[in-house]
Amino acid sequence: MKEKTFTKLLLSMVVSLLIISNTSFAQNILIKSAPLNQDFVKYKNITKLTKDGFGLGEIPAAEKPNFSYIVKNAAKYAPKVLGGIPLGPAPPASEPSISDAIYDLRAHNLVTVPKNQGSCGACWTFATMGSIESYWKKNGYGTYDLSENNLKNCHGFTSAPCDGGNYFKSMAYLSRLKGPIYDSLDVYSTSVHDCNPDLAPAAFVMEARFIVNTPEILKQALLNYGGLYTNMRWEDSSYNSVDKTYFYGGVSSNSTNHAVLLVGWDDTKITAGGVGAWIIKNSWGTSWGESGYFYISYNDTKVNTSVAYFPSKLDYNSDLKQYYYDNFGWVSSFGFTDSVAYGLTKFTAESNEKIDKVGTWVNSAGANITIDVVDSTSGILATVSKFCDYPGYHVLDLTSSVNITAGNNFYIRVKYSTPTYNYPITTELASGCTPTIQTGKCWISKTAASWTAIGGGTAYARNLCIRAYSTPQDITCSVSAGTDKTICNGSSVSLTATGATSYLWSTGATAATISVNPATTSTYYVTGTTGACTAKDTVIVTVNPLPTINAGIDKTICNGSSTSLTATGATSYLWNTGATTATISVDPAITSTYYVTGTTSTCYAEDTVIVTVNSLPTANAGSDVTIISGDSTVLTATGGTSYLWSTSKTTASITVKPIINTVYYVSVYNASACMAIDSVKVSVTTASCSVSAGTDKTICKGSSVSLTATG
């Protein structure tokens, strides 16, 4: 019930804000601004050049980060790696630690070569880029040369490019996602040039941390994050050019004027301030100091007054959009004289996008922030919280992205809780910059139950330092290339893609359906496009080899005979006779061709075998004969080219002398070796017999007479 009640109140509040956006309602509570940094107040007519002509340009910030939480909770910070991760067991002896007498980033190749700022007061840009370059090297991103010139010319504040800056200016520039730029695209010059705002960043630096001047914390930060932006007060008389050491022991109320890069420590180094020194990378070229470096005493009264590092690198993404009004970031803080306060900012979605990250400036160590993404229809869409060890600019990833619709309003609400600081809300106002103060876009509250409008037309001409990061919405689309196919070698198959409006196959075809006939098993890719969304799918066409079918050698038979045909090379067979066995028997009457189809894994092939049928010879053993017992007779066979009698004789004619009636068989072969059989019967009779020529006849001369024999 509590959450529902809050949501209703919030929705009611949002609607009310749309109507009375510039009205302070239901909240008659004193609102106070944080005190100004006294170094900033005193900063004027400070020396801007060294005696050697090098520029000095570190300007004190209008407001200092609050580190009182660390003072009250020192035990929480001493045993921790910055960022809230416990140190754990002591590192191996080979690993550097804060107990080492000397640690130098140069020895570990974790710092880039010193550059020369010349007479321009741009030291702060070199300290900033040097810190980023060192952090990127330490994290294995490679060696970068980033543009100090682009930061110098494009910071956007009212001060001229060579009139100085600080880490607030640096992070304001970086937080706009306009830099850092590759140095090769915007090479450093002491001359003043117009800003080139259209160069693509080398990457995005999304965050900054401002850390306290405690030796152990600084040493641990060097080990964890590489080079640190730091500042100091430069006086020519405090520098020892012989041993390259520096010690300023003046009153701490004097403001800083120079920004450098802290790259290590040497507990044994002797300076005018005693034993022990920080190792500093300067920006006055490699011919100055110790090849561009020098040592500053631990006991220097102004060194490390403002220390920062930039712990992020997000690959450049042209689709990343940022919603914000605080172009110059955190300039001043205020609140309700209490450690808890709320800020609410309204934005209007420019297109259909998704919010992935939210960010805000945090002004106090030990702060807790809770950020809600809200709209007037659904209430709270996402919530994310974070404990902030250190002040700076913090970006929080949402657990899941929130879709926003073009033209619709959405709100980012931040609850700031700074336990030791009564000015929790970071704001932008016109102090050293010319912000565009929004009207009806920002509200603040002590309890989130009632809200006060700030911005244009109110007593509080400020923008809240609240931001949202979006990318184009994920357009869900899909494509299907269909189920995998299996074909036989030499065959083709149709592939059909579905699910999109246009298609591109790996064959180059753009139709939804294509025909392919690969020689080997192949994978085909299809890209389907629907609007701006593309999806891919694959389909595999498996090519099975054809079986090698053999129906056997051709056969020759004689008419009336049969023969066996045997097929090999497949797992199943089908003959044109209808038989489905590998071996079949055939007895064609004429020469015939037999076909067999062999199949293996649905693939088939054919073969043929010819059965030649030769005709039989016309066998004739001759007419039956009768002989008198004791006589012989000649039997003659015709119709072939060779013969085989039942007497085993192989001649066409044989002489036989049977003593009884006998049937003789002859096998007659033609030229095709085909055979026919005939038979002849030889009858045997006894010798008894008579004959009569008839009676004698008398005729006249010239006449004829018939004679008839009988018997």
Which residues carry out catalysis?
Answer: 123, 258, 282
Q: Give the distance, in angstroms, between the CA of residue 161 and the centroid of all CA atoms in the same chain.
A: 42
- Which segments within 314-408 are labelled E, that is strand? 321-323, 332-335, 340-348, 353-362, 367-375, 379-388, 392-404
Question: Please, what is the Cα angle at 542 between 538 and 547, to 5 degrees?
Answer: 170
Q: Are 173 and 154 in contact (CB under 8 A)?
A: yes
Rounded-to-integer distance, Cα 507 and Cα 541, Å: 13
Q: ω before 435 within 30° of 0 (cis)? A: no
Question: CA–CA distance from 474 to each of 88, 254, 314, 477, 559 (Å)?
Answer: 41, 54, 20, 9, 81
Q: Are 152 and 161 in contact (CB under 8 A)?
A: yes
Environment class of 445 (CB within 10 Å of its CB; exposed 0-12, middle 13-18, buried 19+): buried
Q: Are 399 and 371 in contact (CB under 8 A)?
A: no
Q: Are 216 and 192 in contact (CB under 8 A)?
A: no
Rounded-to-integer distance, Cα 175 and Cα 207, Å: 7
Encode 499-521: b = buried (16+ Cβ within 10 Å), e = exposed. Answer: bbeebbbeeebeebebebebeee
Q: Are 162 and 57 in contact (CB under 8 A)?
A: yes
Rounding to the nearest 10 degrees, give the CA dihedral for residues 247, 253, 259, 265. Answer: 40
**Residue carrying structure tokens 């601004």:** 33
DSSP run (H or E) holding 308: strand 307-309
At residue 185, the 3 state secondary structure works out as: helix
The closest alpha carbon to 91, from 101, 83, 99, belongs to: 99
How many Cα atoms within 13 Å fall on the side-chain side of residue 44? 3
By DSSP bridging, strand 293-297 and strand 245-246 are parallel
Rounded-to-integer distance, Cα 152 and Cα 155, Å: 6
Rounded-to-integer distance, Cα 362 and Cα 390, Å: 8
Rounded-to-integer distance, Cα 198 and Cα 21, Å: 35
Query: Which pair of structure tokens corresponds to residue 109?
Result: 């190749």
Rounded-to-integer distance, Cα 610 and Cα 521, Å: 36
Rounded-to-integer distance, Cα 625 and Cα 661, Å: 10
How many Cα atoms within 13 Å fall on the side-chain side of residue 7? 14
Q: Give the distance, in angstroms, between the CA of residue 375 and the centroid of all CA atoms in the same chain.
A: 33
Q: Across the chain, which distance is largest between two alpha carbons, in Å?
A: 197
DSSP run (H or E) holding 39: helix 38-42
Rounded-to-integer distance, Cα 588 and Cα 350, Å: 88
Q: What residues does 574 pair with on adjacent strands?
A: 597
DSSP type of residue 46: -
Query: Which pair of structure tokens corresponds to residue 525?
Result: 């890719």
Please count the other Cβ atoms lying within 10 Å of the Cβ belonging to residue 244: 19
